[in-house]
Chains A and B, each alone.
Chain A
Amino acid sequence: MSSIEDCLRDILIEDLFVEFAKDKILPTYSLRQDLGIDSLGFVELREQVEKRFRIVISDDDFTPENFSSISSLTSLINRHCSANSVQQ
């Protein structure tokens, strides 16, 4: 389990109050279909990801594709973190 995936599970449980046991949230689960995240939930998720990973998710990146699952969101965070480290 990557640390990013682990952190995303924490956000889902602690900040969005997704009612799943942490180890039952699979990286491939659909955030919308399986975990029931709704429109304001996605806004909260975006804010928490920005805060915890110290990245800025642009409106262009705030898409159902990037926010479809823990896996896709992890990829987005990795892209941002790589870009940040290159800039530094």
Chain B
Amino acid sequence: MSAAARMIIGGVDDLARRISDFGDASPKYDQLFEGYARLALQPGSAVLIVAPNSVEFLFHWIAALANGYVPCAIEPSTKTSLIRALQHSLKIAAIVGPHLDPARYQAKHFARIGAFHVVVCDRTPPSYEPFDVLILTTGTSGSQTACVHSVESLVCNASMTNKTLNINAADKQLVVLPMYHSYGLITQSIGAIISGCELKIDGPPFNANRFADLIRKEDISICGITPTIARDLLRRGTVLPTLRSMSIGGDRVSPEDVMSLLSKSFINELYITYGLTEAGPRVSVLPAHIAPVETYDSVGIAFGDISTRIETPDADGVGQLLVKTPSVCRRKVGGSILRQPFTSDGFLETGDLFTKDAAGYLRYVARKADILIVKGEKLNTRNIDLVAESHPDVECARTTAADTDSLVTRLWAKDDKTLDLEEIKTLMKSSLRLHEVPDTLIQQRNAVFHK
């Protein structure tokens, strides 16, 4: 077992004293560990954890890891159809979560570990190694793909973040973002294990007043939020108790919002971050509270151990951002991965267009065409189109963002039939994540669609 794995697994007892949520019961880690051991899966078997933010979720994740399995977290609202697709594309050996119905996964029985059910669905030789971790790439490269990280890379990235944001054992961190995404899991949860800080876990629905109350009552010193939440707080004029630091990442933050946030006396340190799951995830940070105003439109400078360059920049200096980081994933896996996103000299292809100035400040320009951020959530429009096109009457579908808060899918019918848009929307809701379901469906009749 590596030093990083020992740090995570050996740190559980100490973490148990520093972590809490709003549930009624505290899980006993030892019982969870023994429960996973009883499954007797082969080392390297992938375990899909379908569960909401909670201490129980995190302890399951660590207990699976400690048994030599490969944990993979996914949102608790995931439909059976997607889980079954993941079973195949990621070679999932067992599924864990509250109230699992084994019949949905062609199994007859479930075991119980802690408050969760476990369905073992595949005992074929695993595709991974003990102390690997699977992190799903939500939206960016298809819903059925994931990054294979080692525990070392996650610990490395969390350490770089802790160091840059000065997070230490005296802090108390509030988790409101999903722990099944890389930020909540790696940056905040694994970060807390390493730093020794306290961790308070909350979950949806997000409420600005409750957020302020929690920070006050729990004496929170640091928190991470999305730009969507930040804009919501600004719009409402929410006054928070004083925070030592607030970090914002996951989407673009405008310079105007950075300035507005800096004008709030309750934020002592404001960090704007950029990252992607493949990189482990954090790449760069702008410490806005001490940064020159002309850099407010940037995501700062890459962490000290990370190299970046712009691939074949155009006349304006715009090109794909390439990243070389010690926390890079080992490989990507899943159905639609045709090639690994690495250059011959070991740089990760981010798929994001950036500029980089002489001082090293990175400025985001655009994403690849199929990737959108709507309602603060990243999604892949091609996945949405494929689901719409699975309807027998739909010839072709194209999804675009109508604005930052809505999605529209245009549909072309087979044989120019009149489409039942309600029926198609129902189909899409039954297969997609809620944030992927288009707000509007429009049938296009007056043009021949050229595929």
Contacts and interface: CB of A to CB of B under 8 A. Distances in A.
B217 to A, nearest CB: 14
A17 interface: yes
B52 A32 contact: yes
Nearest to B209: A60
B304 interface: no
B294 to A, nearest CB: 34
Contact of B77 (A15, A36, A46): A36
Contacts of A33: 23, 52, 54, 98
Contacts of A20: 99
Given A19-B104, A38-B75, A39-B204, A64 B210 contact: yes
Interface string A15-46: 11101100000000000111111111111101
Nearest to A68: B22
Interface in B136-173: none
B117 to A, nearest CB: 11
Contact of A63 (B205, B236, B430): B205
B205 A43 contact: yes
B77 A37 contact: yes
B435 interface: yes
A33 to B, nearest CB: 6
Given A16-B434, A19-B79, A34-B98, A39 B206 contact: yes
B435 to A, nearest CB: 5
Contacts, number: 77
- Interface centre among A16, A36, A37, by most chain B C-beta atoms within 10 angstroms, is A36
Interface in B392-429: 429
A40 B203 contact: no
Interface string A38-81: 11111110100000000000011011100100000000000000
A20 B99 CA distance: 9
B50 interface: yes
A38 B77 contact: yes
Contacts of B205: 39, 42-43, 46, 62-64, 67
A61 to B, nearest CB: 9
Nearest to B232: A59
B210 A41 contact: no
- Interface centre among B23, B206, B375, by most chain A C-beta atoms within 10 angstroms, is B206
B208 A40 contact: no
A38 B75 CA distance: 8
A34 B97 CA distance: 9
A34 B99 contact: yes
B401 to A, nearest CB: 16
Given A37-B77, A63-B210, A17 B429 contact: yes
B265 interface: no
B203 A32 contact: yes
B76 A38 contact: yes
A64 B435 CA distance: 20
Interface in B44-103: 50-52, 54, 75-80, 97-99, 101
Nearest to A67: B205
Contact of A38 (B22, B99, B210, B434): B434
Contacts of B129: none
B207 interface: yes
Interface of B: 22-23, 50-52, 54, 75-80, 97-99, 101, 104, 178, 202-210, 236, 375, 377, 429-430, 433-435
5 contacts: A32-B76, A32-B204, A37-B204, A38-B204, A38-B434
Given A19-B80, A36-B77, A38-B75, 19 more contacts: A15-B429, A17-B79, A19-B79, A19-B101, A32-B76, A33-B54, A33-B98, A34-B99, A38-B77, A38-B204, A39-B204, A40-B375, A40-B434, A42-B205, A43-B205, A46-B205, A63-B205, A63-B210, A64-B203
